[in-house]
Chains A and B, each alone.
Chain A
């Protein structure tokens, strides 16, 4: 392994967390949506998440990488408790989400923060920043106004919207995209959650602001020992933000490994294609054509049999890939891949 600054940090974190406990555990999760014909009558299922299993440890950042329509948003919404799993379970801090009553879900939601993709869409336009940040505290049952204000100031400082007084009375449209995203992060962090779900938090921002927001998230993650699920389609930002990557394709996790393992030695043909497709600034790019697998991700209503990537796969093996669904293989320690090439 290359011994660069990144790996050094990650190795240190790994040592520190060797015995850390599992905060979120997802086991055999399926989220299917029923399709109806003319409002009634069954017409099949959209299999948005189809058999996903993974653990997130305390203080760990994982990245779920996939293209639009791969089911990553459904996975995220199920983790947030917005969708009910069709099968399998989501266990947070030892408690099964499906067994929680209203009060239990209330408790759960105060421990999970959510950073939306589009900051402007996520902030109510008629509320000023103070009201936006105060609302979760009121819902969370903090009755004392001074304490609420203290908490607001503290989290404004954490996301570096300072001096807080300059921003509290402003409305979302008066802020720049980067500042809006900081408000969204402050709102997600204000109840001091243990787990933060960030859905493409930087894809709507300019390149230079992106790094600023990711640096901020990483700082918060380290200072609060926060677990973060970072959902993205951009592999280049993953490399310096996450410890492990899960690559998702058509409702399945097809490769799970540490960041460096995936980026330096991608095993699944789809992961390889994603890495080929990701550009790095280099003038030579303009002179070559990229080899991209043909076609588009499959419909989740009738996904292909066997491995779901087989119709696009350059290393397709007839009689195997299109028949049998590949289980997870472990060709190198800690590097799981669902592909028959590694049987």
Chain B
């Protein structure tokens, strides 16, 4: 793994929001790396800060940001140092694009889908109208939408087709990295599987990297090369997919894995007792300790990331 293989490196990324109830520590010191042409899954339950992490990477911030700091290296440059205008021109949608959560339901109902897909290209790359049509047709081919759908309106399309349109919108500026936020959670089983086929093909044929944000372990394995588990604003485990799905290390990851219902086999799924801590009032020490079956004295101190068999885990059990 040489240095220039790294597409994205994130160090100590922090994103806190101020609300009337207090400071929400949504992303609290996140580090991870992504090599090009790989897919990393950010796995976590609702409220763990995984969507905020996506927004922090793309600098799509709401107004109530209290702290936003850290380093995001893209290639060799720290894009956190860029001005807003430079970031918009050179990073957002040019190199990293995103399919936001429920994007398929957020398409503009009064614009033809073809126009909506071409918009990022005309705005960011200054593509002309005639070129835009052929570009959109090419994108439709990549995501498996018939070309004549270019003149249709969103209401004329099924959920699966609209999700493909949303992916085409992220793809049209030919970025290196696409962030997908729960891309299939509202879709039917067969549609989910066909969307993942599309994503796998994009990765294989166009060499695109993905950050897939999801709470669904089973479907996340469809795309994952690496898995990062997020809990209460922190990454608690980083592992390659084979290692993770075979034997998760962190007690939280183990519990998550045990909660997945299986089609075959005799193991009954278990649930995790308790609830994740509020991001406003985080406990000291390990943030999972109150729900952890292996809790011991050491857990009252903040665990650092420990390395175990080339994987990283934030748990004192591996010290």
Contacts and interface: CB of A to CB of B under 8 A. Distances in A.
B115 interface: no
A289 B200 contact: yes
Interface string A196-218: 00000000001111111011000
B193 A176 contact: no
Contacts of A276: 193
B261 A211 contact: yes
A292 B268 contact: no
B190 A240 contact: no
Interface in A175-227: 176-177, 206-212, 214-215
Instruction: Choose among B216, B244, B257, B268 the residue with the greatest number of A CB atoms under 10 Å from its CB.
Output: B268
Q: B interface, how many residues as a size bin?
A: 35 or more
Contacts of B266: 2, 4-6
- Nearest 6 A/B pairs, CB to CB: A4-B266, A277-B193, A212-B271, A283-B241, A67-B188, A211-B271
Interface string A237-251: 101100000000000
A235 B196 CA distance: 18
A277 B197 CA distance: 11
Contact of B190 (A176, A237, A274): A274
* Chief secondary structure at chain A's binding surface: helix
B110 interface: no
A82 interface: no
A2 B262 CA distance: 14
A206 B215 contact: yes
Given A206-B45, A279-B218, 6 more contacts: A68-B188, A211-B271, A239-B263, A240-B269, A279-B192, A289-B201
B263 A236 contact: yes
A263 interface: yes
B190 A207 contact: no
Interface string A244-274: 0000000000000000000110000000011
Q: A interface, how many residues as a size bin?
A: 35 or more
B158 A236 contact: no
8 contacts: A176-B275, A208-B259, A212-B271, A215-B271, A236-B260, A239-B263, A263-B264, A286-B200
Contacts of A98: none
A169 interface: no
A283 B244 contact: yes
Given A207-B256, A273-B190, A280-B262, A285 B221 contact: yes
B65 interface: no
Given A206-B46, A279-B219, A240 B193 contact: no
Contacts of B215: 206-207
B221 A286 contact: yes
A41 interface: no
A140 B224 CA distance: 52
Given A177-B46, A212-B271, A286-B200, A236 B262 contact: yes
A55 B261 CA distance: 27
A280 B268 contact: no
B160 interface: yes
Interface in B181-217: 188-194, 196-197, 200-201, 215-217
